[in-house]
């Protein structure tokens, strides 16, 4: 196990050191296999957290530089602490960019789309990564996309 590999996986996934160590052990120190293990672990964590109530969150507003497309997003989480975090705000911004670019009509349709910055994962996979990283249920409650 190389400390740089651990550091890299921690930065990429935000998962706990214990989860990263387990992933590296399970994969025989293979980074790609460890990433896949961490993705599946993140999905497990997200599945368990889906029953939790989401009473906090943020409203994110995105206006494209052309000023011809705009998005208002209502993104929810469990606690005010997470809602105020930089990671949660970054997630809201990434979701708003996706909505502006891909014109989803519902949260379900949005989550089924491929992530515009990494087509190897869906938006649902992307959201699950943040659920695992932040340790809370996160829900795209609603959004509106405006275009001229």
pLDDT in tens, 51-82: 667 789 999 999 999 999 999 999 999 999 99
Same domain, 125 and 89: yes
Q: Are 71 and 144 in contact (CB under 8 A)?
A: yes
What is the pLDDT at residue 1?
61
Same domain, 135 and 81: yes
Q: How many domains is the chain built from?
A: 2
What is the pLDDT at residue 98?
97
- Beta strands 69-77 and 139-147 are antiparallel
Same domain, 43 and 75: no
Same domain, 61 and 122: yes
Which of 18, 34, 49 delimits the end of a domain?
Answer: 49
Mean pLDDT to the nearest integer, 89-99 = 97
Residue 45: which domain range? 3-49
User: What is the residue-averaged pLDDT of the chain?
Assistant: 86
Q: Are 131 and 138 in contact (CB under 8 A)?
A: yes
Is residue 9's pLDDT more than 80?
no
Same domain, 24 and 85: no
What is the pLDDT at residue 59?
97
Token pair for 94 = 């990434």
Q: Between vectors from CA 50 to CA 47 and to CA 56, what angle results, nearest 5°? A: 140
Same domain, 61 and 127: yes
Same domain, 40 and 61: no
What does the alpha-carbon distance between residue 68 and residue 86 come to, in Å, rounded to a whole number?
Answer: 27
What is the pLDDT at residue 68?
96
Using DSSP, state whether 43 is helix, strand or coil: helix
CATH number of residue 88's parent domain: 3.30.479.20
């Amino acid at each position: 196990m190389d400390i740089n590999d651990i550091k890299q996986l921690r930065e990429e996934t935000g998962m706990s050191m214990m989860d990263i160590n387990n992933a590296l052990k399970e994969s025989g120190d293979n980074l790609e296999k460890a990433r896949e293990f961490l993705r599946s672990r993140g999905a497990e964590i997200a599945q368990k957290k889906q029953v939790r109530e989401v009473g906090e969150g943020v409203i994110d507003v995105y206006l494209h530089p052309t000023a011809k497309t705009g998005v208002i997003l209502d993104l929810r989480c469990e606690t005010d602490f997470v809602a105020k975090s930089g990671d949660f705000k970054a997630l809201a911004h990434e979701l708003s960019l996706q909505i502006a670019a891909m014109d989803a009509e519902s949260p379900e349709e949005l989550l089924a789309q491929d992530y515009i910055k990494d087509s190897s994962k869906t938006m649902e996979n992307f959201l699950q990564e943040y659920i695992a990283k932040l340790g809370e249920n996160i829900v795209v409650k609603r959004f509106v996309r405006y275009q001229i």
